[in-house]
Structure 1
Amino acid sequence: MKKKVFSMMLCVAMTVAGLSGCGEASSTVSEKEADSNKEAAADEITVGSVIMNTSGEWFAEVMQGMEAAGKELGVKVNIVSSDNEVSKESDNVSTFIAQGTDAIAICPLSADASAAAVDAAREAGIPVVAWNCTVNTDTDGFVGVSNYDLGKMTGEYVAQYVKDNYPDGCKLAILGNHSYEVGVERCNGFKDVIADVEGLEIVAEQDAEMQDEGMDITEQILTANPDVNIIWAWNQTSLLGCSAYMQNIGNKDIVVMGTDMSIEIAKTMLGDDVTLQAVTTQMPYDIGYNAIANAVKAVKGETYEEKMLIDLKTYVKDDVAEIEKYVEDHKSLVE
């Protein structure tokens, strides 16, 4: 009996010891996991993205590309808007510096005025990749397009279109921009190509940026120049405004062309309410993705293309299949 009691006591003691041992092992693993998690969090790269504004599908697609890059590369991407204000842009960069952000991807509002913010970040040891727009100071790379070539491509289409369709001459109006580098470059590229087209006359050129401005300026131009044959708009939102005005007045005779595709623009091209003939566009998803990817490579000290120019594309009203494919490929932007 004593043996049985002793045996039972020994068994209980061993069991308790075993439980205690398991408890210690579990505690040790938990601490290691906690330390590992802390290290992983500390090692996670954070990229601050500074965007001009978040209006329109173009920037929505850029952000989609940035978020995809962050997910695929396992980095954190913080996206903030400057709302077209240089002072807010500066504040956004200062905040990222204070937070110890590992890299910054910025779409500079001004080639000159944005330079101070970029310099401040780089002086703090933070790599800065510019995208969409360049800035007049040193950066750690650029991702975007040649905006001169973007305007030039539409100009080349217009030049041929005028030769084929207006043998007796053509009057053209421009919804342009003189506030941003991208606008100036696009307008220069467009106008340089059409400058020597026989019979083509530019009868009006006014700045317009947002959709409501596009509508108002189009109305002003056509009131003063009712015999305009073609209107070219420099960006997505002014093009949307121009197209909306033409639809409101039911004018199919004036041919509209522009830059920066969107779902709404594509659907307008497919319809018959407006003669929206050609749109030259960038690939904003690719711009956003590669801006983040190159910023991460800069942090890691890896080799990357410091001036990355993304391909351009022209959509034409007659190519229905290509336009329908665009709508299908980009439907997630409006869902």
Structure 2
Amino acid sequence: MALIKTLLLTSAATLMTVSVQAQDMPKKIGYVTNYATHEWYQNVIKGMQARGKELGIEVEVQDANLDIAKQVAAAEDFIAKGVDVLIVTPVNEEGVVPLLRQAKAANVPVVLEGNPVKGMTTMVAICDYDTGYHSGVAAGKYAKEKLGSVAKVMNVGLPLLSATVLRSQGFMDGIKTEIPDAVMVHDLDGGGNPDRALEVSSAALAKNADINIIYGINDSSALGGLQAWKAAGKSQDGLLTVGTGGEGLAFINAIEKEPSYRIEAAMFPEKEGFTAIDAAVKLFNGEEVPEHIVSPTAPMFGDEWKKYYDYDGTSRAIKWDAVNALQAPAKCMKTSADLKK
């Protein structure tokens, strides 16, 4: 049965690829990323460039470096140069709204990556709540087996973005399916970067170190929380660290070296970049696309990452067959709209 399912999924992926290749191709796609020095976006770009090369499309990248004014200027520059399609990872959700209007007036289709924006045509992104939820379920099962069915969580979050808020909510809801009295001891704003995550985690642990699970909305957040734990001189015995993203090499090194880093909610940035290019091709051809094109995720325990990546000690290579065989949900359990209810 599992073999039949795998064959069906592989066939579906193959048919999708063939249909894309039969279409007219844009000559040039412009991608404005929000933070190109981050491992996640570096691997998103690798996925875009790999797919672009395969389809004969030039993919040019500009970095906003977390500056919305710079992002708008870069997108305007791409429009002026006459790119066929824009792909944008929003620095913030409100700041990109006027940009979408400008692109529409110039008849340039826009694909968003990662975060929704009012007035968008389509977005390629994971189901953030689902990703947190399934890693929470895995963490709850681990805690029942290894931590005495106790779950006291330090959430190293990022309240600025709806996507990351959904991950944290999903994680707590997921863990409570296994341990109903699980509690969030600390709900922190780690800024999504390791330095800020370390700072706020250190301060929180100084006030109350009675936790046994560190959850990070991305790998930097999880690793910043773990670093704070270690800097306080605490043993990792009886601790579980859960990362999110599978962004680059950091999570692989952590799983291999840190005893508490056992679960990773992998989001496959290369796949997201690959899918964004396919979405751009469809918009270029005037095809109808879903508002949210879901990119797959998978919770990985221990060395299960080896199913999806090769690692030679200095770089990693995605195993496309394994990742393309993953089935994304048809619909997310919760979305950013649910946060406003």
TM over 0.5: yes
Q: Distance in 1 between matches of 2:187 and 2:271?
A: 31
Report whether the alignment pairs 1:211 with 2:194.
yes
Q: Distance in 1 between matches of 2:313 and 2:148?
A: 38
Aligned to 1:99: 81
**1:198 shift after superposition:** 3.2
Residues 111-190 of structure 1 mapped to structure 2, 5 A cutoff:
111-139=93-121, 141-167=122-148, 169-190=150-171
Q: Distance in 2 between matches of 1:307 and 1:156?
A: 24
Which stretches in structure 2 are left out of the alignment for 5+ residues?
Answer: 1-24, 318-341
- Range with greater deviation from structure 2 (306-315 or 175-184): 306-315
One of 238, 241, 249 as aligned partner of 1:256: 241
Kept after mapping to 2: 8 A contact 1:243/1:274:
no
Aligned to 1:311: 296
Ranges of 4+ aligned residues in structure 1 off by more than 6 Å: none
CA gap of 1:331–1:303, structure 2 versus 1, over 3 A, is farther
**1:66 shift after superposition:** 0.9
Q: Distance in 1 between matches of 2:128 and 2:91?
A: 15
CA gap of 1:259–1:322, structure 2 versus 1, over 3 A, is closer
Aligned to 1:15: none
Percent of residue pairs bearing the same amino acid type = 25
**1:200 shift after superposition:** 1.9
Q: Structure 2 length as normaliser, TM-score?
A: 0.77
| SS of residue matched to 2:102 | helix
Kept after mapping to 2: 8 A contact 1:101/1:126:
yes
**1:213 shift after superposition:** 1.2
Greater share of residues in helix: 1
Aligned to 2:278: 293
Code of the aligned partner of 1:236: D
**1:190 shift after superposition:** 1.7
Of the two, which has the highest radius of gyration? 1
**1:250 shift after superposition:** 5.8
Corresponding residue pairs, total:
288
**1:333 shift after superposition:** 5.2
Q: Distance in 2 between matches of 1:168 and 1:151?
A: 19
Code of the aligned partner of 1:283: F
Residues 1-335 of structure 1 mapped to structure 2, 5 A cutoff:
45-139=27-121, 141-167=122-148, 169-195=150-176, 197-208=179-190, 209-248=192-231, 249=233, 251-253=235-237, 254-261=239-246, 262-271=248-257, 273-302=258-287, 307-317=292-302, 320=303, 322-323=305-306, 326-328=309-311, 332=315
Kept after mapping to 1: 8 A contact 2:35/2:64:
yes
**1:212 shift after superposition:** 0.8
Deviations 1:151-184 (A, max 9, x none): 1111111222233334463321110111112212
